[in-house]
Chains A and B, each alone.
Chain A
Amino acid sequence: MFGKIRPQGSGPGIADSWHGGDDGENPLGPGAEGGALPVHTKQIGLWALLVTISMLFAGFTSAYLARRAAGEWTPIPLPRVLWLNTLILLASSATMEVARRTLRSWNLRALKRWLGITMVLGLAFLRGQFVAWKSLEQQGIFLPTNPHGSFFYLLTAVHGLHVLGGLIALGVVWFRAWRERYTPYHPAIGLCATYWHFMDLLWVYLFVLLFIL
């Protein structure tokens, strides 16, 4: 699998094909050579994406902290279902990790199974967040009612959309796994796992920020 990696810094004269073949051949991704970092190109792109998502939530966080410090702040009650949601999302990270490892042993069947479980857990998490919204509404806390509530709806909505994006990506990977497109060094599963764990951590962070700090 690593047969086609090129020596670095070697002189001219090595004929190079367009991009050095497909993803499976160059473990750093198409075209990565010369001064490339020892990381898959797509992984770098994903990290950059996670950095900018982090900045988005940093922006929300500073707004939240500033608003809370400004006074007139009545905390909303913690919807109980959030504990369950948190557990579900943590569990989904674990199953995602299992899925990732199954691929290492070329076990596509297990990969499909564990990806499926991860997706079901992800959907359950989203459903649970929705239940949390409903329970607040039943207590008369709507989006505009209270600053804490506004931030809760806002942050869960934005986070939920990002989880949804991750679910779509997982769906694509799952679909492709059916078509037996994966080899142990294919980057897609690793990328999904990184993103998924990040969403998981992000939720834990938001939970702590909104209800514990």
Chain B
Amino acid sequence: MHHVHEENHEAPQSFLRRYIFSTDHKVIGIQYYLTALFMMLVAGLLAILIRIQLAWPQTPQPWLHKILPGLYDPNGIMRPEYYPMLFTMHGTLMVFFVLSTAPVSGFGNFLIPLQIGARDMAFPFLNMMSYWTFFVGCLVMLASFFVAGGAAASGWTAYPPLSALPESIPGSQWGQTLWIIGMVFFIASFTMGGLNFVTTVLNLRTRGMSMFRLPLTIWAMFCVSILGLLSFPALTAGVIMLLFDRHFGTSFFVPSGVVIADKLMPHQGGSPLLWQHLFWFLGHPEVYILMLPAMGFASDIISVFARKPIFSYRAMVFAILVISVLSFLVWGHHMFVSGMSPYLGMAFAVFTLLIAVPSAIKVFNWLATLWRAKIHFTTPMLFALGIVSLFISGGLSGIWLGQAPIDIQVHDTYFVVAHFHLIMAGAALFGVFAATYYWFPKMFGRMMNETLGKLHFWLTFVTYYLTFFPMHFLGLRGMMRRIYDPTQYDLFKPLQPINELISHSAFLLGAAQLIFVFNFVWSIFRGKKAGPNPWRANTLEWTTESPAPHGNWRGPLPVVYRGPYEYSVPGVAEDYIPQNVAPAEVKTVGARG
């Protein structure tokens, strides 16, 4: 009668079950991570095409016509109707398929059981399903480039009527439909992941691992999963209705009287603003889905390499919680120009500015952790400091944008592009790198090369700022985002040198990533062998061998006696005390043994 899960006790032997259809959270995490990196490559190439276009809009690029004859006319000029496809798919892939996936689905999967002391996720089979659902979503998104009319072209925000009427733009034909289907797969996969994460953190913590002994990375993953479970359904509702409008003739989002190419559309009485509300109800929490994991990584890594406890752990946890709650109350700041009542706008502005308070607490605590520390400037630490830097520089422009009177001036200009690339894209990207350099030894059993890592960091850091900071000035001078050719406006002609500078540094930024790819691949095979705990860190993943075996710990699960940040405790011989060291086992100064 007792059905015993024999298969759980040993690692599956066949290649297929072990590495492809695996239910091991570590394999799944790495699968997610590698797939996301591939999607980053695609989305990055799209960005390069965007930058070529913006810097030299009228310069023929015959070589691009040879490679991409659909996108460039025979003279080598980009076909204008396809430019929107580039920024749409760049944004969609980066936000959802790269920067939500790599940190949350990738590192979240890899780290949660290891850091809370569990053998695996609560629902390993669901976990596997979640990856393969995501994989199908990726295929659908990639396939959409090859259908008639090309991929979706209504922005990552998919505003109707553009996204609702196939007649409106080539990308709104099959491309948009596939976009919707791809998003449904993505949301389904993220939901399965979220259910797993929440349940695992609540119920699978090892003995002694109370909620307030969780590393901040886990707190971030936990809150992010809840954010996802609560906010993605709004987008699901939205895309289902959008699908109905597109294919079944309903008018949820399409207003009366839309005329395209002299043809009156049959739709009546729908509201495009309704979509915006549904989208941003997800959209704003979504930006924190990208941000919070990076904050978690930064906290853990900074504490390790400052060899100091994170300053005020509890305040850090409460800041994450407050940010999570507030992130549901601010979506209207994306809609200040939608004609909303000024009183409502005021309410959204106030909540938006309130988010600056927990954000500032986090920044203060990071700086206080660094204060007078003997910092080890390793590559993961450099990237973690990069996160802090980008969070500050992007957050400051957020405070501008959060105020309706200013936002109405710069809305939909490159100022906004600068803001969210610094804060959301930048912090999340640097988070992925920080986490990669830091946890690589646990993933592959070897260290990444530090020299190449530092080179990668400095090139990325400098070119990242050079690419995105000048966009503030473009925006303040009025240059709109999503524009095919700024030189069409006399007003923007003097800005062309800035656009060229941005493009050059963007190419350098892209090139610098080749160093990372090389380092990554090389280190998997040739990197220095890592011991169980190369960084002398406290959290539980470092108490097992590198890479961790199937089931994570060979013997019994570790038991936790302390919080994750006990570094440089006065009177203790070592400058770190792993979470599983019992009070009686702590060696004090002068003690022998």
A residues lining the B interface (CB < 8 Å): 8-19, 21-22, 24-25, 28-37, 39, 41-42, 44-45, 48-49, 51-53, 55-56, 58-60, 62-63, 66-67, 70, 72, 143-144, 147, 150, 154, 158, 181, 183
Contact A45 B119 (CB under 8 A): no
The answer to whether the Cβ of B488 comes within 8 Å of any Cβ in the partner chain is no
Determine the chain A residues whose CB is within 8 A of the CB of B556 once the complex forms: 12-16
Whether A29 touches B203, Cβ cut-off 8 Å, given contacts A63-B241, A150-B250, A183-B1, is yes
* B2 close to A41 (CB less than 8 A): no
Contacts of B559 in A (CB 8 A): 11-12
Interface string of B259-277 (1 = CB under 8 A from A): 0000000101111001001
> Which residues of the other chain, B, contact A18 by a CB distance below 8 angstroms?
5, 8-9, 119, 551
The answer to whether B238 and A144 have CB atoms under 8 Å apart is no
- Supposing A33-B207, A51-B229, A59-B238 touch, asked if A24 and B251 sit within 8 A by C-beta, the answer is no
B8-A55 in contact (CB<8A): no
CB A187 to nearest CB in B, in angstroms, measures: 12
Find out whether the CB atom of B234 lies under 8 angstroms from the CB atom of A59.
Answer: yes
Instruction: Report whether A59 and B2 are in contact in the complex, using a CB–CB cutoff of 8 Å.
Output: no
B250 touches A143 (CB 8 A): yes
Cβ contacts under 8 Å, B191 to chain A: 49, 52
Are A31 and B202 interface neighbours, CB within 8 A?
no
With A18-B119, A72-B269 given, is the CB distance from A9 to B195 under 8 Å? no
* Cβ-defined contact, A143 with B244, below 8 A: yes
Best-buried of A12, A44, A53, A59 by chain B (most CB within 10 Å): A59
CB within 8 A of B204: which of A8, A41, A150? A41
Q: Which residues of A contact B123 (CB under 8 A)?
A: 42, 45
In the complex, how many angstroms separate the beta carbon of A175 from the nearest chain B beta carbon?
Answer: 15
**Also in contact, A45 and B236, with CB within 8 A (given A35-B210, A144-B251):** no
A52 touches B229 (CB 8 A): yes
From A8, A34, A53, A154, give the contact of B241 (CB < 8 A): A154
Q: Give the chain A neighbours of B3 by CB distance below 8 A.
A: 22, 24, 181
A28-B203, A143-B249, A147-B251 given; A59·B237 CB < 8 A: yes
Residue of A nearest to B550 (CB): A18
Is chain B's binding surface mostly helix, strand, loop or mixed?
Answer: loop
* Segment 194-250 of B: residues with Cβ below 8 Å from A: 194-196, 198-199, 202-211, 229-234, 236-238, 240-241, 244, 248-250
Q: Which residue of B lies closest to A63 (CB)?
A: B274
* B407 beta carbon closer than 8 Å to chain A: no
Establish whether residues B8 and A52, one from each chain, have CB atoms under 8 Å apart when the complex forms: no
Q: Given A15-B556, A28-B203, A67-B252, are A147 and B237 also a contact pair (CB < 8 Å)?
A: no
Chain B contact residues, CB within 8 Å of chain A: 1-5, 8-9, 117-120, 122-123, 126, 191, 194-196, 198-199, 202-211, 229-234, 236-238, 240-241, 244, 248-252, 266, 268-271, 274, 277-278, 281, 551, 556-557, 559, 582
Chain A positions within 8 Å of B203 at CB level: 28-29, 31-32, 36-37, 39, 41, 44
Whether A41 contacts B199 by the Cβ 8 Å rule is yes
Instruction: Name the CB-closest residue of A to B192.
Output: A49
The reply to whether B278 and A10 contact each other, CB–CB distance below 8 Å, is: no
- A63 close to B204 (CB less than 8 A): no
- A37 engages B120 (CB within 8 Å): no
Q: How many A-B residue pairs have CB under 8 A?
A: 161
Q: How far apart sit A39 and B198, CA to CA, in the bound complex (Å)?
A: 14
Q: Contact check: which of B4, B211, B251, B582 meets A150 at CB < 8 Å? A: B251
Q: Give B557's nearest chain A residue, CB to CB.
A: A16
Q: In the bound complex, what is the Cα–Cα distance between A9 and B211 (angstroms)? A: 14
Interface of A is mostly: loop
Which of these, B1, B198, B557, contacts A44 with CB under 8 Å?
Answer: B198
Sample (5) of A-B pairs whose CB atoms are under 8 Å apart: A14-B556, A29-B122, A31-B120, A67-B252, A150-B252
Chain B residues whose C-beta falls within 8 Å of the C-beta of A42 in the assembled complex: 122-123
Known pairs A25-B2, A37-B203, A59-B281. 16 more at Cβ < 8 A? A11-B582, A12-B556, A16-B557, A32-B203, A35-B208, A41-B199, A58-B233, A59-B236, A59-B278, A60-B237, A62-B277, A62-B278, A66-B271, A67-B271, A150-B251, A154-B244
- Complex CA gap A110/B218 in Å reads 45
Q: Are B557 and A56 in contact (CB under 8 A)?
A: no
Contact A22 B2 (CB under 8 A): yes
Of all A-B residue pairs in the complex, the 5 with the closest CB atoms, nearest first, are A59-B237, A144-B249, A56-B233, A55-B233, A34-B207
Q: Using Cβ atoms and an 8 Å threshold, which residues of chain A touch B1?
A: 24, 183
Chain A residue with Cβ nearest B10: A18
Given A24-B2, A56-B236, A66-B271: A9 in contact with B241 (beta carbons within 8 A): no
Minimum CB–CB distance from B284 to chain A (whole Å) comes to 15
Say how far A2's CB is from chain B's closest CB, in angstroms. 14
| B292 shortest CB reach to chain A, Å | 18
Assuming the A-B contacts A34-B209, A44-B199, A59-B234, are A22 and B4 also in contact, with contact meaning beta carbons closer than 8 angstroms in the complex?
yes
Residues of B within 8 A of A59 (CB): 233-234, 236-238, 278, 281
In the bound complex, residues from chain B placing their C-beta under 8 Å from that of A21 are 2, 4
Q: Which residues of B contact A51 (CB under 8 A)?
A: 229-230
Contact of A31 among B119, B252, B582 (CB under 8 A): B119
Q: Taking CB as reference atom, which chain A residue is nearest B204?
A: A31
Closest residue of A by beta carbon distance from B271: A70
Report the minimum CB–CB distance from A20 to chain B (whole Å). Answer: 10
Contact of B233 among A22, A32, A53, A150 (CB under 8 A): A53
Taking CB atoms, residues of chain A closer than 8 Å to B251 are: 144, 147, 150
Output the nearest chain B residue to A142 by Cβ-Cβ distance. B249
Query: Which residues of the partner chain B approach A158 to less than 8 Å between Cβ atoms?
Result: 240
CB-defined contacts of B202 to chain A, threshold 8 Å: 36-37, 44
CB <8 Å contact, A63 and B122: no
- Contact A31 B118, beta carbon cutoff 8 Å: yes
| A48 lies within 8 A of B9 (CB) | no
Closest partner residue, chain A, to B237 (CB atom) = A59
Closest B residue, CB atoms, query A52:
B229
Q: Are A45 and B557 closer than 8 Å at their CB atoms?
A: no
In whole angstroms, how far apart are the Cα atoms of A51 and B195 in the complex?
A: 10
Give chain B residues whose Cβ lies under 8 Å from the Cβ of A41.
122, 199, 203-204
Contact check, A150 vs B8: say whether CB atoms are below 8 A apart.
Answer: no
Assembly CA distance A181 to B2 (angstroms): 9
Q: Tell me, in angstroms, the Cα distance from A147 to B9 when the chains sit together.
A: 56
Instruction: Tell me whether A45 and B122 are in contact in the complex, defined as CB-CB below 8 angstroms, given that A34-B205, A67-B271 are known contacts.
Output: yes
Docked complex Cα distance between A182 and B268 (Å): 54
- Shortest CB-to-CB span from B460 to chain A, Å, is 36
Closest to B555 in A: A15
